Structure 1
Amino acid sequence: MKAEEGQMDSSSSSESEAVSGPVRRVIIVSAGASHSVVLLSGNVICSWGRGEDGQLGLGDAEDRYSPTQLSALDGLEIVSVTCGADHTTAYSQSQMQAYSWGWGDFGRLGHGNSSDLFSPQPIKALGGLRIKQIACGDSHCLAVTMEGEVRSWGRNQNGQLGLGTTEDSLVPQKIGAFQDISVKMVAAGAEHTAAVTEDGELYGWGWGRYGNLGLGDRNDRSVPVKVSAVQGEKMVVVACGWRHTISVSSSGSLYTYGWSKYGQLGHGDFEDHLIPHKLQALCENSISQISGGWRHTMARTSDGKLYGWGWNKFGQVGVGDNIDHCSPVQVKFPLDQKIVDISCGWRHTLAVTERQNLFSWGRGTNGQLGHGDSIDRNVPKIIEALSMDGSSGQHIEASKVDISPDKTWVSPTERYAVVPNENSATLLGADGNDLYVPVSDVKRMRI
């Protein structure tokens, strides 16, 4: 099938109608490279932002500038949604089934091929498993079962799947290195992965050039290796940015390591750290949630405050300017609302408050902020349609796109992926910026 045949024409794909109903509570938020997805109470899923690779799951390749209901998963009792860079996953506990859709290159969707998917499809290799968490990086994914086993799939050029090889995997495979170890959670970055075990041990594997594995060197690892640098601290949470890693100990202390060219480690400088380094600026706070963006970081304290730092070109740190911050800065919300959930995309950020309001800020060029426009914002702005305090109440767009099977799959031979190569990572332009950072947000070219 040719690329143009897998897309709806603009007159039909833009057809949608606004639907109002009971005010629904935001259960989970997740941000990808340039798209956003939320799970609402009542088993309602909404997506918006870039749709070029099918990552919105709405049956076409169109961008959406406002939250649009993803009806393909209605009635499946979805309990979690997770965005990769340009793909998305969901899990139904009652069905014991994971689903994925979006950009399929390198097998990141787990369906045994590299085709793009414009509507959710079940990952057959995960059927029947009781999954407690799914993590998505740029091009690879992992699933942790209730029993503490880990499956991984997708791109593996640096060993980020933890399988002992550098071959991509088109279907989920069990990580044998955790055979006798119960894993609590995993996190995926661009080309590296981190994990925390039920015993509080921290592991890293994959691409390690900036010390983002926490192992004291810059080497890659193709199997999970224990991070031994943090003595006497049990880790309970871990998150990955593009090429940096964040973890939280049982005492609420925050540690960061890896790449810090843009201050994303938060230690007051722009120096890389090869082992976990405690963030002294927040040592008086107990950290309860963390999230890593492309080059920025967010941390939520146990008393509901939100702090951000790192790359801020598009205002994604949310503190009212567009200057990079190498130390944590508090993000302010109307009425000093406390934060209950956060998620960093590549260049944008989402946050849910205790008043059940959803805010977004940062890059808006593809509508990923959900405000009906493509404007960047450097302070949090409420998404009216998904917030209790929204002036117009909940008003969600309902997609009317035909998602019949013959319009679901698009062969990778009909599309061309532009992927930065490894050698470009250290090239600098005259302005000191990385040459591989796109001037625009275009990363996919069609033939």
Structure 2
Amino acid sequence: MDARAESSGDDAVPEVPEQSVVLISAGASHSVALLSGKMVCSWGRGEDGQLGHGDAEDRPVPTVLTAFDVPGISSVICGADHTTAYSEDEMQLFSWGWGDFGRLGHGNSTDVFNPLPIQALQGIKIKQIACGDSHCLAVTVNGQVHSWGRNQNGQLGLGNNEDSLLPQKIQAFEGVRISMIAAGAEHTVAVTEDGDLYGWGWGRYGNLGLGDRDDRFVPEKVSPVEGEKMALVACGWRHSVTVSSSGGLYTYGWSKYGQLGHGDFQDHLVPHKVEALKDSSISQVAGGWRHTMAVTEDGKLYGWGWNKFGQVGVADNEDHCSPVQVNFPDEQKISQVACGWRHTLALTENKNVFSWGRGTSGQLGHGEIVDRNIPKMIDALSLDGYACKQLEASNAAPMTAEAWVTPSARYAIVPDENVCKSGNGTDTHVQHSDAKRMRV
């Protein structure tokens, strides 16, 4: 909806902007936006190729992926240090960025600096993508789930703890239709079309909602909460959020920084209702590294949790263990919110984009590298600013050019690191390793 459209008579047609933002997403230290013309722009940290501009440079302002000329892009989703985009016209999922543990789904662990198609998912109609720290999942229009990437705690739901370099269907959901999925650092949650909630992966803080702190290698159903059917899910780094079909908000998992919003700093092993918002109907939720954001049906935005860099957006840098309303100029209503690790993005109903929190990699999009603890409009993307008419353009080579960058060309391998292994003559699985790669 364009709140700026004006009518000069009964037969007047509201003016439709040539370009406006329709979707936002945030990674660890980078951000992306999908424009109405199906163009993708990105900004922030680019060291691992996650911006998709063909290089490892940071971008302090939104920059269009000029070489990504694919029709019908309908979704762009950030992982921590990688990015995915789906084309409805081509029925093709693309990925780029840091490739460790197979999180890009290309059959190897190589970094990618331009968008590349995930061949294993070619021709599959996808309705939703979820990206965590090092793993990804895709939900098909038929409610099936494919997962790939790191799996040391079973977060892929495949019944083992072997990383997967290629997407694999979660067999445990045979006969179950998934509506929505969300990925944390090392865990995953999902809600079915029937309103059932599932969790799997790393569960040390109760973030699976199963009443204990154990890991799960396959999806397990969460016990019903107050008879409610669930409709939405989101994950923070080690906490989870779900919204019932009636708009009730529930959180569970890690709460050292108050990210559960219950007025304390206590972990919860099962979904627990956020009483401070019991009189509000929640329409959208997002989880950051250690903070949480929620949008109400009437367009108000609330935030809580870790706030060292101002990522909660309430004009201070103190942690908040209860929801606090975030204020916007002219009381603009919020239609979307996205959490990065330490920064937050919001899209208003009248097509303005705001950002706040950590800014040292340019992920706030203001052309500077400073932190902010209140929302500031990104002029380049907002209808009350330059209305996407003065966006920077990348100088990346066309998609047909070389997009791969081998790890050996960019990193020094730590001695004694476990070596990747092949499984049954394929390169589908890699051996679990906690080894770190170090910059050369």
- Provide TM-score, normalisation by structure 1: 0.88
Letter in 1 for 2:228: E
How far residue 43 of structure 1 moved from its aligned partner, in angstroms, is 1.1
Q: What's the counterpart of residue 298 of structure 1?
A: 293
Corresponding position: 1:138 with 2:124: no
Distance of 1:297 and 1:444 partners within structure 2: 30
Q: Tell me: CA distance 1:387–1:292, structure 2 relative to 1, closer, same or farther (3 Å).
A: same
Distance of 2:174 and 2:126 partners within structure 1: 17
Q: What's the counterpart of residue 218 of structure 2?
A: 223
Is the Cα contact below 8 Å between 1:387 and 1:394 reproduced in 2? no
Corresponding position: 1:166 with 2:161: yes
Distance of 1:328 and 1:147 partners within structure 2: 36
1:86-125 to 2 correspondence within 5 Å?
86-125=81-120
* Deviations 1:121-146, CA, capped at 9 Å, x for gaps: 00000001010001000000000000
Q: What's the counterpart of residue 78 of structure 2?
A: 83
Is the Cα contact below 8 Å between 2:79 and 2:131 reproduced in 1? yes
Corresponding position: 1:238 with 2:237: no
Distance of 1:387 and 1:222 partners within structure 2: 43
Is the Cα contact below 8 Å between 2:47 and 2:57 reproduced in 1? yes
Corresponding position: 1:323 with 2:321: no
How far residue 266 of structure 1 moved from its aligned partner, in angstroms, is 0.3
Q: What's the counterpart of residue 17 of structure 1?
A: none
Distance of 1:312 and 1:111 partners within structure 2: 36
Is the Cα contact below 8 Å between 2:336 and 2:346 reproduced in 1? yes
Tell me the secondary structure at the aligned position of residue 71 of structure 1.
coil
How far residue 201 of structure 1 moved from its aligned partner, in angstroms, is 0.2
Letter in 2 for 1:381: K
Corresponding position: 1:45 with 2:37: no
Q: Tell me: CA distance 1:198–1:135, structure 2 relative to 1, closer, same or farther (3 Å).
A: same
How far residue 73 of structure 1 moved from its aligned partner, in angstroms, is 2.3
Q: Tell me: CA distance 1:404–1:224, structure 2 relative to 1, closer, same or farther (3 Å).
A: closer
Tell me the secondary structure at the aligned position of residue 414 of structure 1.
helix
Is the Cα contact below 8 Å between 1:58 and 1:403 reproduced in 2? no
Q: Tell me: CA distance 1:417–1:177, structure 2 relative to 1, closer, same or farther (3 Å).
A: farther
Identity %: 72
Corresponding position: 1:446 with 2:439: yes
Q: What's the counterpart of residue 126 of structure 1?
A: 121
Corresponding position: 1:61 with 2:68: no
How far residue 232 of structure 1 moved from its aligned partner, in angstroms, is 1.0
Q: Tell me: CA distance 1:417–1:213, structure 2 relative to 1, closer, same or farther (3 Å).
A: farther
Distance of 1:264 and 1:291 partners within structure 2: 11
Corresponding position: 1:336 with 2:331: yes
Is the Cα contact below 8 Å between 1:388 and 1:394 reproduced in 2? no
* Deviations 1:343-368, CA, capped at 9 Å, x for gaps: 00000000011111000000000000
How far residue 400 of structure 1 moved from its aligned partner, in angstroms, is 1.4
Q: Tell me: CA distance 1:393–1:52, structure 2 relative to 1, closer, same or farther (3 Å).
A: closer
Q: Tell me: CA distance 1:369–1:333, structure 2 relative to 1, closer, same or farther (3 Å).
A: same
Q: What's the counterpart of residue 252 of structure 1?
A: 247
Q: What's the counterpart of residue 428 of structure 1?
A: none
Is the Cα contact below 8 Å between 2:39 and 2:64 reproduced in 1? yes
Distance of 1:446 and 1:229 partners within structure 2: 47
1:15-54 to 2 correspondence within 5 Å?
23-54=18-49
Match of 2:344 among 318, 326, 349: 349
How far residue 237 of structure 1 moved from its aligned partner, in angstroms, is 0.2
Q: Tell me: CA distance 1:165–1:380, structure 2 relative to 1, closer, same or farther (3 Å).
A: same
Corresponding residue pairs, total: 403
* Deviations 1:45-100, CA, capped at 9 Å, x for gaps: 10000000000000000000000001232242100000000000000011100000
Is the Cα contact below 8 Å between 2:67 and 2:399 reproduced in 1? no
Letter in 2 for 1:242: W
List gaps (5 residues or longer) in structure 2.
Answer: 1-16, 415-435
How far residue 410 of structure 1 moved from its aligned partner, in angstroms, is 1.1
Tell me the secondary structure at the aligned position of residue 177 of structure 1.
helix
Q: What's the counterpart of residue 427 of structure 2?
A: none
How far residue 404 of structure 1 moved from its aligned partner, in angstroms, is 6.5
Q: What's the counterpart of residue 427 of structure 1?
A: none
Distance of 1:217 and 1:126 partners within structure 2: 35
Distance of 1:394 and 1:331 partners within structure 2: 28
* Deviations 1:157-189, CA, capped at 9 Å, x for gaps: 000000000000000000000001000011000
Tell me the secondary structure at the aligned position of residue 312 of structure 2.
coil
Is the Cα contact below 8 Å between 1:316 and 1:362 reproduced in 2? yes
Distance of 1:163 and 1:417 partners within structure 2: 31
Is the Cα contact below 8 Å between 1:213 and 1:258 reproduced in 2? yes
1:184-199 to 2 correspondence within 5 Å?
184-199=179-194
- Provide TM-score, normalisation by structure 2: 0.89
1:375-390 to 2 correspondence within 5 Å?
375-390=370-385
Match of 1:398 among 389, 393, 397: 393
Match of 2:143 among 131, 145, 148: 148
Q: What's the counterpart of residue 8 of structure 1?
A: none
Match of 2:308 among 296, 309, 313: 313
Q: Tell me: CA distance 1:383–1:101, structure 2 relative to 1, closer, same or farther (3 Å).
A: same
Distance of 1:404 and 1:225 partners within structure 2: 40
How far residue 393 of structure 1 moved from its aligned partner, in angstroms, is 6.6
How far residue 394 of structure 1 moved from its aligned partner, in angstroms, is 3.2
Q: Tell me: CA distance 1:126–1:411, structure 2 relative to 1, closer, same or farther (3 Å).
A: same
Is the Cα contact below 8 Å between 2:152 and 2:163 reproduced in 1? yes
Report the aligned-residue RMSD.
Answer: 1.6
Letter in 2 for 1:91: Y
Is the Cα contact below 8 Å between 2:19 and 2:388 reproduced in 1? no
Q: What's the counterpart of residue 426 of structure 1?
A: none
List gaps (5 residues or longer) in structure 1.
Answer: 1-21, 420-442
Q: What's the counterpart of residue 413 of structure 1?
A: 408
Letter in 2 for 1:446: R
